[in-house]
Chains A and B, each alone.
Chain A
Amino acid sequence: MSVTLTVNGSLLTLEAPPAARLLDVLRERLGLTGTKEGCGEGECGACTVLVDGVPVNSCLVALGQCAGREVTTVEGLGDAQHLTPLQEAMVTEGGAQCGICTPGMLLSAEALLREKPAPTDGEIREAIAGNVCRCTGYQRIVNAITEGARRREVRP
């Protein structure tokens, strides 16, 4: 059975089992290993991707449920040579340590900033409440998102 969907701007038709988790298809079929598996149960947010712009846990979504939809992974934000202002801020503000939560954090933050270009601390904390970080204590991530929002205004 084939499933057609858009991943990071490319329209793809995949011969893949539609009941498979989106997470496994992204990592194993498409090699998009930026998306991490943490708990596999929708608790940690490491596998967060955007489906039609909305953050979801890709471990809880079937590939078949994404037919005709647009999926954005961390690879769809920017690469090492062309970081987005948000990614840049995550680096300069020390928002990433071990890095496992970072792709999911970036996508939750990206979705927030698309909706609210200048979020409050409370809005940032709610947006990343489903993304667990065991290193930073979150404050630097919140700082990074605030700084990313500021830089986006200058260079969207």
Chain B
Amino acid sequence: MSVAGLALHPFTAPRNLPEALGLLAERAARNEKTVLLAGGTDWFVERHVAPPETEGTLPLVVDVSRLEGLRGVSLDGDTLRVGAGVTYLELRKDPRVVARGPLLAAMARDVGALQIQARGTLAGNLASGSPAADGVCALAALDATLLLRSVRGARRVPLSGFYTGYRKSVLAPDELIEAIEIALPPAGSPFAWRKVGTRQAQAISKVALAALAVVENGRAPASASAWPPSRRRWLSSPRRGRSGCRARSRRSPPPISSAPSSRTSPRSTTSARPPPTGATSPSRSSRGSSRGSRSGIFPAGAGLTPFGLRATGRLQWRLLRASE
């Protein structure tokens, strides 16, 4: 345990975003390590289990949790912008998110417990790059775009192009995530959010599923497919673990596909088990102790029933929008 070493870390809280970016650029140029600290819900845990550090190699801790330039949720037409410093608690309480991005609100409610929601951020979830990240799963279904900024300027990267490997991304050493941008589907679009863990609160997801559908011409959506599709570069072993996802539409033609691909965490020791016949819920198809919570507006007649999924390990799923 090396929490005692925490006190040795140099720490600074820049007053504004340009100051933070300048600091990042200087340190990146000198090849010095910097930790951008927001909610700390990953970093402090890593320090808790890490071997003791020696003073010479300690990174500078830069507190970005209160930077004005990273704060706030805004809605501009159909584009929702979530600042990198916005916490899950702020997200789930924001009336615009509840009304126009209910999938995000449902996801935020399932992250950790209130104490974690009060500190953790979506951008932190993205930056730490855990395969079990609930926020990333929901953002994938929403086709989110990340706004990255450095002293060199800003660039937009689609989430599908952000990760390059396990906990690796295209984020440069002098860059930070400034905001997450989401082109919202029409209000009232059917969605589903399902997380399965050993208990409802605090559990690291075994499986999380985010689904979104866009209704066109009064018809329910026609297709769905599993996340991550095999074209994803960051899928290291697409054939490890067999898993499937099935979606059913009552008013329209059957779904197109369920790609048999999965992503398993190295910390997961289980391999896929065959599903019980006729299982309709992941919590029933995995062993009895799993608890999950389910939210969404996929009532009878709305179209998709995205269950019947079976998987073990930590997998994430995405249902592609029918229009794609």
Chain A: interface residue total (CB-CB under 8 A):
33
Compute how far the CA of A48 lies from the CA of B1 in the bound complex, rounded to whole angstroms: 21
Give the tally of cross-chain contacts (CB within 8 A). 102
Choose from B1, B40, B116, B201 the contact partner of A62 (Cβ within 8 Å): B40
Q: Mark A12-37, 1 if CB is under 8 A from B, else 0.
A: 00001111110010000000000000
Q: Would you call A19 and B61 a contact (CB within 8 A)?
A: yes
Chain B neighbourhood of A54, CB < 8 A: 89, 118
Q: Mark A30-60, 1 if CB is under 8 A from B, else 0.
A: 0000000000111101001001001111011
Compute how far the CA of A72 lies from the CA of B140 in the bound complex, rounded to whole angstroms: 38
Chain B: interface residue total (CB-CB under 8 A):
32
Least CB distance from A113 to B in Å reads 14
Q: Would you call B114 and A57 a contact (CB within 8 A)?
A: no
Q: Would you call B6 and A19 a contact (CB within 8 A)?
A: yes
Name the residue on A nearest B10 (C-beta). A19
B143 within 8 A of A: no
Which residues from 256 to 282 on chain B have a C-beta closer than 8 Å to any C-beta of chain A? Answer: none
Chain B neighbourhood of A129, CB < 8 A: 113-114, 200-202
Chain B neighbourhood of A40, CB < 8 A: 1, 3, 48
Enumerate chain A interface residues (CB-CB to B < 8 A). Answer: 1, 16-21, 24, 40-43, 45, 48, 51, 54-57, 59-62, 64-65, 67, 108, 111, 126-127, 129-131
Enumerate chain B interface residues (CB-CB to A < 8 A). Answer: 1, 3, 6-11, 13, 37, 39-41, 44-45, 48-49, 61, 63, 65-66, 89, 112-116, 118-119, 200-202
